[in-house]
Amino acid sequence: MYSEGTIKLTWIDSNDRKILHSKMFKTIEDALKETQDKNNWLIFKLKSVNGDNYSWDLLPYGASRKYQLGMAISDNQIIMLTSLTLIGFGVFYIYKLFKD
């Protein structure tokens, strides 16, 4: 069991994107020292503990902005459909440029 304020460093395995690794620390500084060889890492701070339930705050380090943007895009169907449509038009336009 971890106490409130515990820092968790998480990162995606570079060989298998389905695997999420994590390591606990007492300070943010200690966690940041471990990030040099990691890709797509995030740092969380334990907000509350209730039995086996943990709530974590995402801290503004590593890929936190990309994570939040990705979640916002995937949760908003209008943005998702607009993005896919623009990508489709881009691919079509590039195809037309090379075809002619």
The pLDDT assigned to 5 comes to 96
Helix (H, G, I), strand (E, B) or coil at 15: coil
Going by pLDDT thresholds of 50, 70 and 90, the confidence category of residue 99 is: confident
**pLDDT for 42:** 96
- pLDDT over threshold 90, residue 35: yes
Task: List pLDDT tens digits, range 3-31.
Answer: 999 999 999 988 898 999 999 999 999 99
14 and 43: one domain?
Answer: yes
**Number of domains observed in the structure of the chain:** 2
Examine the domain organization and report whether 38 and 78 are in the same domain: no
Do 42 and 80 lie in one domain? The reply is no
Query: Against a cut of 0.95, is the pTM above it?
Result: no
Around Cβ 42, how many Cβ atoms within 10 Å? 23
Q: Are residues 10 and 31 in the same domain?
A: yes
Element (H, E) at 7: strand 7-12
Can you give the residue range of the structural domain that contains 86?
Answer: 63-100
| Cα-to-chain-centroid distance, residue 15 | 17
pLDDT digits (tens, 9 = 90+) for 36-81: 989 889 999 999 999 999 999 999 999 999 989 888 877 878 877 8
